Structure 1
Amino acid sequence: MTDLAQRMMMDASLSRTEQAALAIGQLAEQAPHGARLGTKKELQEQCGVAKGTFNEALRILQSRGVITVRSGPGGGLFAASPTPIARLGNSILSLDAAEGDVADAVRIRDALDPLLIEDALDHSSAVDITRMRTALDVMRQSADAGDATEFVRANWELHAAIARVSPNAILKSIYLSLLDLIESHTVSVEPVGDRPLPEYIAERQQLHVDLVDALDRRDRDAALRLIHAHNTTQT
């Protein structure tokens, strides 16, 4: 019997997914930061669970920042290093990548926002505005549910919808790539400082509603003022 299989037998009251997550989590916590635990196939076989069960266990562990998963040669499961963070307005992104890389991506994204707003003012159609309002609805639902991470992801989807309006293929490609980089390395969103995160989220929600309204009525002054206020990296 493998060590992982033995670990999984410690609490029979848990589901197979929870048992696998517990066993691999303990293995990761006992390993040095960044240590390779094995390939997905190797660890799945050691746990003795189905692929879907194993992948769900990995999703749980990744969301908790316990492990990282890398593809390609030399890839597999690794014990997570201490999680870096990047500042995003009055909240922080908990990341599984180099803090500087994501912080730089956020800074560049903010610098490109006004250019995309200019394009959206000139080129957005009724269908484009509808897509933006759909993303706003998801943001509102996430805020109501108190899910800060999902709120931020819906926020990024709104900005992706705005970016897709641009006829400038280079600008659009760069911006969407930056969003992908930020999103793919974000584990969670947490409050920073004394300000309650729900209060900050409510403020950001209203700012984005006002921004889409300004785009809808082609109010250039209001849209540019709002995107300046939106800038998360300004001092």
Structure 2
Amino acid sequence: MPTHSPAHHEHDHGHRAEAAGQEFWDSRYRESERIWSGRPNSVLVREVADLAPGRALDLGCGEGADAVWLAGRGWTVTGTDISPVALERAAGHAAEAGLAGRIAFERHDLGESFPGGEFDLVAACFLHSPGEMPRERILRTAAAAVAPGGVLLVAGHGGPAPGAENPHPDLHFPTPQEVLAGLELPEDGWEVLVCAEHERVGAEADRPGHGYDNTLKLRRLA
């Protein structure tokens, strides 16, 4: 369910909501041999490059670019996705990079199941999906999986560029402040490191539709 810089096109949020879930994403991945660029999300690179490697959880790992990048920097990674098609590709990507031993890929419908354990980094980069996905509840579960001293990173789509027509008026992409409020975290238990909207940069600037993304980065204190 991620939106890594696309090799061909961005998520088609115009698909009917009832097509969401594993069936939607398996069909989406089968549209071509690769639907994302194979490069990690720039927000992940920017916000994680200076962190000491530990255990990482990549939610909605798709074809595995973020997970492979993390493993290449010394992280032990668990990557999850709802689509077995995506996970098979991700495992192949990891094997080609010689990093299969550092990444465990698990299938989860995150609204129904979640990886066990605690992690020094939990990353949810562009965890959007058409249809009924309990994103706020998933992100609260993600926060609970962060070990003391660890980091929760949530990147999401923001609003359209100034003066541009909203291509998806029926969908709400929350602001980073709304994401933070939805986590319902104790104020004395977390430090807000980043809570901001930003223009897309690099390859991600080529995505059609919304011109802004947002980033929420938190450190768990206890």
Q: Into which bin does the TM-score normalised by the smaller protein fall?
A: under 0.3
TM-score (norm 1): 0.20
TM-score (norm 2): 0.20
In our comparison, the structure showing a higher alpha carbon Rg is: 1
